[in-house]
Amino acid sequence: MKELLVATRNKGKVREIADLLAPLDIKVSSLLDHGAMPEIIEDGLTFRANAAKKAVIIARHTGGIVMGEDSGLEVDALKGAPGVFSARYAGEHADDEANNTKLLAELSGVPVEQRTARYRSAIALADQDRLIDVVEGSCEGVIAGERRGTNGFGYDPLFIVPARQMTFGELPLAFKQTISHRANALRQFLKLLERYLVHSQ
């Protein structure tokens, strides 16, 4: 059976990606299942650049087929911040809790109609020889005035899905998996991976 290594250490991402790839006849692992790996410095200006960097560095090192995923939250009232810095918004070693606290502080006093935002995800596929391609997905939302719910990870307790008027923290994971930025990017990724596997046989 072929193996796809997902170049991430984020448990929330691993859970969502493994779940959506489960129907494939392919073994999915992440950096959490492997030993020492090269350090990846996420210095790209875009999600695409960082996703490509993650995939290429790990594929060169392991010689396998690798997915790199880079994602984040763009808030319109903050001119697109935190963007590619979403994981480190409140500092280099910030956790989800600190990042959410900072986001609420930055948006304090901003009325609900100006709290529009979107999640973005870029997903790259690479093998030992090259970067195959990068695909992208997004998901529109509104930033809540306080945390709501404990499902998901990252900014999910603050991310309201307008059609449901509930946050991803409150909505079941199965619903997030139908409309999220990552799910949208993964749909493109599945087509790319299928084409790659056919041509590399």
Catalogue the active-site residues: 70
Here's the x/- map for ligand ITT, 160-189, by CB under 6 A: it reads as: --------------------x-x-------
Which pair of tokens denotes residue 134? 């990068």
CB of 40 to ligand ITT, least distance (A): 7
How many binding residues for ligand ITT (CB under 6 A)?
21
- Among residue numbers 95 through 134, which ones bind ligand ITT (CB under 6 A)? 99, 119
Residue 74 in contact with ligand ITT, rule: CB under 6 A = no
Question: Which residue has tokens 């959490």?
Answer: 32
With CB under 6 A as the contact rule, which of the stretches 18-26, 57-65, 153-161, 186-194 interacts with ligand ITT? 153-161
Closest distance to ligand ITT from the beta carbon of 81 (Å): 12
Q: How far is the CB of 80 from ligand ITT (least distance, A)?
A: 13
In whole angstroms, how large is the CA radius of gyration of the chain? 17
Q: For residues 160 and 171, what is the distance between their CA atoms, to the nearest angstrom?
A: 10
Q: Which of 2, 9, 130, 187 binds ligand ITT (CB under 6 A)?
A: 9
Distance (Å, whole) CA 141 – CA 101: 18
C-beta closer to ligand ITT: residue 72 or 132: 72
Question: According to CB under 6 A, which one of 4, 5, 13, 125 is a site residue for ligand ITT?
Answer: 13
Q: Which helix (H) or strand (E) holds 97?
A: helix 96-106
Whole-angstrom distance, CA of residue 67 vs CA of residue 62: 12
| 71 near ligand ITT (CB under 6 A) | yes
**Which backbone phi and psi does 166 adopt, to 5 degrees?**
-135, 155
**Opening angle at CA 77, ends 158 and 155, nearest 5:** 20
How does 95-110 read in b/e, with b if 16+ C-beta sit within 10 Å? ebeebbeebeeebeee
Classify the phi-psi angles of 83: left when phi > 0, otherwise alpha if psi is within -120 to 50, otherwise beta. Answer: left
Based on the shown chain and the rule CB under 6 A, indicate whether residue 85 belongs to the binding site for ligand ITT: no
Which parts of this chain interact with ligand ITT (CB under 6 A)? 8-10, 13, 42, 69-73, 86-87, 99, 119, 152-156, 180, 182
